[in-house]
Amino acid sequence: MIPTHRKVTKQIRFVDEKGNALGNKTIHLKQTAHSFLFGCGAFEFIPYILKGDEEHKQITESWLDIFNYGTLPFYWGNYEPVEGQPNKDVLMKTAEYLKSRDVRVKGHPLCWHTVCADWLMKYDNETILRKQLERIDREVTGFKGVIDMWDVINEVVIMPIFDKYDNAVTRICKEKGRVGLIKEVFDKAHECNPEATLLLNDFNTSINYEILIDGCLNAGVPISAIGIQSHQHQGYWGREKLEEVLERFSSFGLPIHFTENTLISGEIMPAHIVDLNDWQVDEWPTTPEGEERQAREAEEMYRILFDHPLVEAITTWDYKDGAWLNAPSGFIRKDNSPKPSYEMLKKLIKEEWMTDIEVTTDAEGRAVVEGVKGDYSLNADNLSATANLTDDEEMTIVMSNI
């Protein structure tokens, strides 16, 4: 059962190029893309763009077989390891390539205390904040039209009290306060690209994050969507927690993005680890039982999220095993072979949740079409068209000779 809010039910009038009604015709509508954002970390596209080798070609093509939405890394410390020398070219080429393959791209993140640029620490706080805002201007303006979606600021609940090491962003967050800094960085991003989708993103799903969002919205911060991380290295949240989190964060009425989802296909990380980064292992193998479990849990999770009217995006963090924390967290193994979770998700996205129907028009060329929101190709005899179907409004589609 596909949830109603994921579908259109609309009357369409089909005409030929001269405007004549295509009466009593059978028309084949095949969905080619989803409006819903099925995402994944797209980091693997960078080595492909850099090297163009066969291995990365295969990885990225299997990625593209499922996903329409990818996250690219803009960690300041890696993006601009030396002040004034940002790695813009390779990121731009990668983003443009993804766009050419009909993938929507999100940049992650514009402001974060982790993987922060160390060279910032030689400046006073006023200068750090200025450089932070200039950095946002440079990326958001510079990538406009190619990247129009950003994780503007990451993990603010912990940001001013993060004490693992000194860093420039924690310093300014301490001084300006959480909401004050969020407002600065969002206002700047919004000013640079008023059409962009701007996310606040956090792994903290407690009442802290709720109150933070509440404060930001009342302070007029232009948040487009709430980003929720769900790295489940320590075991699947389960239906109950997932529904509880959805219920709490729905109260704002904003779109919800699951921005960083992880489910493990091996042994799970012990519960006593508080910061996932503290779990450093040489080997973390994927196992057959783990892979079955991962596919089962991922299916339940994707179904629950797809079922929720406010969820607009789900991004699985690692496409391939052995990325962050060396975890068996991917849809494909280290040898690039697909796991059961890959096959499961491909079936959901490309079959169960994708529309492929025929309708027959009446004498005036009208038919009611019911299908999942997205892009369609249409065919009837020697006529064809493409259409984006996302609402229930009546429309006319002009079909052309092939």
**Contact residues: a second copy, CB under 8 A:** 157, 161, 174, 177-180, 183, 207-208, 211-212, 214-220, 251-252
Q: CA neighbours within 13 Å on the CB side: how many for 231? A: 18
Which CB atom, from 85 or from 218, has the smaller least distance to a second copy? Answer: 218
**Identity at 396, one-letter amino acid code:** T
Which CB atom, from 36 or from 209, has the smaller least distance to a second copy? Answer: 209
CB neighbour burial string for 123-148, b if at least 16 within 10 angstroms, e if fewer: eeeeebbebbbebbeebbeebeebbb
Which CB atom, from 90 or from 161, has the smaller least distance to a second copy? Answer: 161
Helix (H) / strand (E) element for 62: namely helix 54-64
Least distance from a second copy to the Cβ atom of residue 204, Å:
10
Q: CA neighbours within 13 Å on the CB side: how many for 84? A: 0
Least distance from a second copy to the Cβ atom of residue 162, Å:
12
- In sequence order, the β-bridge partners of residue 386 are 377
CB atoms near residue 398 (< 10 Å): 15
Q: CA neighbours within 13 Å on the CB side: how many for 207? A: 0
d(CA 169, CA 91): 23
**Residue 231 · residue 186 · CB < 8 Å:** no
Which CB atom, from 86 or from 177, has the smaller least distance to a second copy? Answer: 177
Least distance from a second copy to the Cβ atom of residue 182, Å:
9
Which CB atom, from 67 or from 186, has the smaller least distance to a second copy? Answer: 186
d(CA 344, CA 365): 38
Which CB atom, from 64 or from 217, has the smaller least distance to a second copy? Answer: 217
Least distance from a second copy to the Cβ atom of residue 224, Å:
18
Least distance from a second copy to the Cβ atom of residue 225, Å:
17
Least distance from a second copy to the Cβ atom of residue 323, Å:
31
